[in-house]
């Protein structure tokens, strides 16, 4: 199969545990680019964070695309938007209230950046991870839409209880999943990584079977299931490995992305 697009999750996939991209992965991406492969970053991170990371690769062009906020937004690197599916109005406000009811950190997002009512140690850690501006407001419900809602809390069992609660309440209106064990995220039903990859592929006239996607966590499930070759990095959750067409031998600290490029694109 001649592949045309490579879709990459960032955290715990392309990025190593120190939050940077290895030289071997960069070299492999550059070789893939020379072969005409469209490289698309697809992350739960905010748009600015993705741009800051990927611009350093020096292989990304202004007419390349990236998917942010777990599939709620697709932009090119000139800042032009081609896909935007936020959570809005009553559902957003209900999700904010639910977060307060459970006593977790509630994070929403707008063009201003990350918006919270309280700046906690968890918020600070997220700020450092995502390299995003944080705005503290008195009331989140003055906003009528958000690209996603993120519940940030250390009690994983409580977040699982919330996930079940939200799924029961809004299963026909939102997608809800864990991006990390302590990050429970909610997106519009019309937005997830798989739907965004499908939209971009149709936009670029690329067939489903011509796409490789690599990821590690529950938010990557949708794109791994959609593409022609769905890959789980070796440090991925077991549930993701089970649905993948291929599981790498190398993890995110051992150039797992380069392994996939060499095996399926460069055929080394």
Domain boundary among 188, 217, 246: 188
pLDDT score recorded for residue 62: 81
Distance CA 212, CA 248 (A): 13
Task: Check whether residue 91 and residue 184 sit in a common domain.
Answer: yes
In this predicted structure, the answer to whether residue 223 has a pLDDT above a threshold of 60 is yes
In this predicted structure, the answer to whether residue 23 has a pLDDT above a threshold of 90 is yes
Contact 184, 162 (CB under 8 A): yes
Task: Check whether residue 36 and residue 98 sit in a common domain.
Answer: no
Q: Tell me phi and psi for residue 125, to 5 degrees.
A: -65, -40
Q: Determine what percent of the chain is predicted with pLDDT higher than 70.
A: 100
In this predicted structure, the answer to whether residue 97 has a pLDDT above a threshold of 70 is yes
Task: Check whether residue 166 and residue 95 sit in a common domain.
Answer: yes
Helix ranges, the chain (H):
23-34, 47-54, 89-102, 121-130, 156-170, 193-203, 221-226, 238-243, 256-260
Task: Check whether residue 61 and residue 34 sit in a common domain.
Answer: yes
Smallest CA-to-CA distance from 50 within 34, 28, 74, 26 is with 74
Distance CA 268, CA 259 (A): 9
Task: Check whether residue 92 and residue 74 sit in a common domain.
Answer: no
Total domain count, the chain: 2
CATH of the domain at 124: 3.30.1240.10
Task: Check whether residue 46 and residue 117 sit in a common domain.
Answer: no
In this predicted structure, the answer to whether residue 268 has a pLDDT above a threshold of 60 is no
- Domain around 157: 87-188
Using a 10 angstrom Cβ sphere, with 0-12 exposed, 13-18 middle and 19 or more buried, the burial of residue 57 is middle
**pLDDT tens, residue by residue, 233-264:** 999 999 999 999 999 999 999 999 999 999 99
Task: Check whether residue 93 and residue 183 sit in a common domain.
Answer: yes
Domain boundary among 188, 204, 239: 188
> What average pLDDT does range 192-203 have in this prediction?
98
**pLDDT tens, residue by residue, 26-47:** 999 999 999 999 999 999 999 9
Beta-carbon neighbour count of residue 97 at 10 Å? 13
Task: Check whether residue 231 and residue 176 sit in a common domain.
Answer: no
pLDDT score recorded for residue 129: 85
Residues recorded for the chain: 268
Distance CA 66, CA 47 (A): 8
In this predicted structure, the answer to whether residue 145 has a pLDDT above a threshold of 90 is yes
3-state DSSP assignment of residue 100: helix
Domain boundary among 159, 188, 217: 188
Q: Determine what percent of the chain is predicted with pLDDT higher than 90.
A: 85
Give the strand pairing for 113-116 and 134-136. Answer: parallel
- Reported confidence tier of residue 212, pLDDT bands at 50, 70, 90: very high
Which has more pLDDT, 73 or 64?
Answer: 73
Distance CA 244, CA 246 (A): 5
In this predicted structure, the answer to whether residue 198 has a pLDDT above a threshold of 90 is yes
Task: Check whether residue 97 and residue 165 sit in a common domain.
Answer: yes
CA–centroid distance for 5 within its chain:
17
Task: Check whether residue 208 and residue 91 sit in a common domain.
Answer: no
Task: Check whether residue 222 and residue 210 sit in a common domain.
Answer: yes
Task: Check whether residue 51 and residue 33 sit in a common domain.
Answer: yes
pLDDT score recorded for residue 112: 80
Q: Which of 55-64, 196-205, 232-241 has the lowest mean pLDDT?
A: 55-64
């Amino acid at each position: 199969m001649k592949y045309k697009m490579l879709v990459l999750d960032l955290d715990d996939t392309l990025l190593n545990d120190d939050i940077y991209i290895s030289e071997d992965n960069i070299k492999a991406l550059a070789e893939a680019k020379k072969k005409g492969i469209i490289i698309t970053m697809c992350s739960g991170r905010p748009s600015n964070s993705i741009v800051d990371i990927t611009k350093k690769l020096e292989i990304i062009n202004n007419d390349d695309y990236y998917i942010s906020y777990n599939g709620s937004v697709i932009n090119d690197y000139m800042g032009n938007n081609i896909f935007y599916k936020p959570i809005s109005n009553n559902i957003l406000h209900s999700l904010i209230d639910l977060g307060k009811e459970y006593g977790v950190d509630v994070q929403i997002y707008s063009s201003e950046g990350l918006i919270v009512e309280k700046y906690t140690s968890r918020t600070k850690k997220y700020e450092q991870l995502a390299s995003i501006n944080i705005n503290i407001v008195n009331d989140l419900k003055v906003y009528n839409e958000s690209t996603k809602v993120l519940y940030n809390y250390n009690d994983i069992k409580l977040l699982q209880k919330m996930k079940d609660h939200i799924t029961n309440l809004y299963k026909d209106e939102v997608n809800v999943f864990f991006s990390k064990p302590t990050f429970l995220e909610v997106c519009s039903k019309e937005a997830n990584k798989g739907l965004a990859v499908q939209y971009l592929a149709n936009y670029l006239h690329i067939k489903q079977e011509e796409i490789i996607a690599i990821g590690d966590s529950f938010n990557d499930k949708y794109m791994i299931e959609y593409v022609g070759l769905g890959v789980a990095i070796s440090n991925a959750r077991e549930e993701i490995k089970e649905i993948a067409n291929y599981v790498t031998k190398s993890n995110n600290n051992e150039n797992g992305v380069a392994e996939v490029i060499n095996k399926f694109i460069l055929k080394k």
